[in-house]
């Protein structure tokens, strides 16, 4: 009896360890994708280049909570953006390429990349879901963006 409960505890501990390892893997993948697709402009530390590339660290858009704001944020990543921005009292009028639209990156990787940004460099927003990403694609198409 005693022996059996010990075995059960270690099985639970093992599955916890495996869960942690799985989420660490997702984060690592998200970071690698960010470094590959975004860091050239927004910089590896997410701080951007003042006046040229807006910061993603601490950027209220990246930390969006409301459904409508989340959709705007996701559509900027999927379809690109060049509407001009004001972030931390600086104006940006560059051009963000539509990386999520060109097929360079699949949906599951895009989600990892996005959720890496939402949780890296002191950012602590909740993860985006597949459904939210799918909605952003659909609605962006509808409006011809
Ligand atoms: C070639 C440079 C470049 C690359 C690569 C790039 N961006 Fe951008 N990004 C920009 C610029 C420039 C803007 C601001 C556009 C403007 O001023 O209208 C921007 C804006 C944004 C915004 C909107 C910020 C806000 O405050 O609304 C987000 C979010 C964003 N980028 C995320 C990403 C992600 C995620 C990637 C990688 C998948 C990425 N960017 C890759 C240049 C880039």
Q: Where are the domains of the chain?
A: 27-142
Q: In 3D, which of 120, 113, 115, 119 has the Cα closest to residue 99?
A: 113
pLDDT class for 5, splitting at 50, 70, 90? low
For ligand 1, atom 31: residue with the closest CA = 96
For 108-143, how does the pLDDT look when each residue is reduced to its tens digit (9 = 90+)?
999 999 999 999 999 999 999 999 999 998 887 665
Q: Are 118 and 62 in contact (CB under 8 A)?
A: yes
Q: Are 56 and 46 in contact (CB under 8 A)?
A: yes
Domain 27-142: CATH class, spelled out: mainly alpha
Whether the CB of 41 sits within 6 Å of ligand 1: yes
Q: Where does the chain have alpha helices with state H?
A: 2-37, 39-42, 67-79, 107-119, 130-142
For ligand 1, atom 32: residue with the closest CA = 77
Q: Is 18 left (phi over 0), alpha (psi -120 to 50) or beta?
A: alpha
pTM: 0.86
């Amino acid at each position: 009896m005693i022996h059996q409960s010990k075995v059960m505890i270690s099985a639970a501990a093992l599955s916890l360890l495996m869960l942690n390892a799985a989420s660490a893997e997702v984060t690592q993948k998200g970071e690698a994708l960010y470094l590959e697709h975004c860091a050239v402009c927004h910089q590896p530390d997410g701080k951007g280049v003042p006046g040229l590339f807006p910061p993603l660290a601490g950027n209220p858009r990246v930390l969006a909570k409301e459904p409508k704001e989340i959709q705007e944020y996701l559509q900027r990543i999927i379809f690109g953006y060049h509407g001009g921005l004001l972030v931390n009292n600086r104006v940006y009028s560059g051009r963000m390429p539509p990386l999520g639209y060109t097929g360079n990156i699949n949906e599951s990787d895009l989600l990892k990349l996005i959720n890496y940004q939402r949780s890296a460099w002191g950012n602590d927003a909740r993860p985006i879901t597949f459904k939210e990403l799918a909605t952003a694609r659909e609605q962006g198409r509808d409006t011809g963006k």
